[in-house]
Amino acid sequence: MSPRPTTGHVRRPAILTAAAAVIAERGVIGTRIADVAERAGTSAPGVLYWFASKDELLTEALAFSDDRFYAGFGNRYQIQVYGSNGKLRSIIRRAWTPTPITADDWERWVVEWSKLWVRTTGAERERDIQKVRESPWAEENPAFSQFIVDRGGRLWVREAHWQDAIAAGSLLDSPAVPSVWSVFDSRGRWLGDVSMPTGFLPFEIGTDYVAGILRADGVNHVTIYGLSARGR
């Protein structure tokens, strides 16, 4: 494979800016590579040149404000802050102890995931479930699974939970357990943690509200919660 061109610092931010805009409109679940490509003025293969898959694009956990964007991988609590010119501005770090995923956790995931996605019956079903059970699985939860920048320029970082991946195999799915978001100001200082209910996936956060999709009984509802200074 030939090396990627040196214009990558321009192309990637453009694609990630488009992805952030699409996610804000459609939510993580409703975001498609084709939608991101159209917004970025490129093709789906053009997006996949920089990101191997939709999951890679999303799980890189990128979020944008007017003049910066954030990138981080969940193997450590470290978030890079880049300017609109693609240059690294600063790094947000926070003490973090990985939470192990136990054999019992994996077995529960296999059972619940198979209820949703294994369509075969009888002995064939048991064989298919066993194949899932024998698949490689992560030994620990990542540090985070999602970023959102609110309208005040604060960064919200969602804590990762393996249960969230049961429905779609992605930690960015609608939360299967209450989610916890750490909030940082524009300088990277931690302001506090905010809990959100099971099934609620925010897509926009203002100074006094959180708007998102609440999934209840298999139905999605647009929901807005109020915020107060005490809650922030």
Whole-number Å distance between alpha carbons of 172 and 14: 21
pLDDT tens for 173-193 read 788 899 999 999 888 899 999
Beta-strand ranges (E) seen in 8-87 are 63-64, 68-71, 78-83
CA distances from 42 to 34, 36, 47, 77, 164 (A): 9, 9, 7, 32, 31
Q: Which residues pair with 219 in a beta bridge?
A: 216
The per-residue pLDDT for 107 is 93
Whole-number Å distance between alpha carbons of 176 and 181: 15
Least confident of 13-22, 42-51, 134-143: 13-22
Q: Express as a percent the part of the chain with pLDDT over 90.
A: 32
The per-residue pLDDT for 156 is 95
Domain extent listing, the chain: 103-133
pLDDT tens for 125-138 read 999 999 989 988 88
In what side-by-side order are the strands of the sheet with 155-158? Answer: 146-149, 155-158, 179-184, 190-196
Whole-number Å distance between alpha carbons of 162 and 149: 23
The single residue listed with the structure tokens 């007017």 is 66
Whole-number Å distance between alpha carbons of 175 and 142: 15
The three-state secondary structure class of 61 is coil
Quote the tokens at residue 119. Answer: 């369509």
Q: Which long-range contacts (CB under 8 A, 24 or more apart) does 212-221 make?
A: 212/27, 213/27, 213/174, 215/174
Between residues 155 and 63, the one the model is more confident about: 155
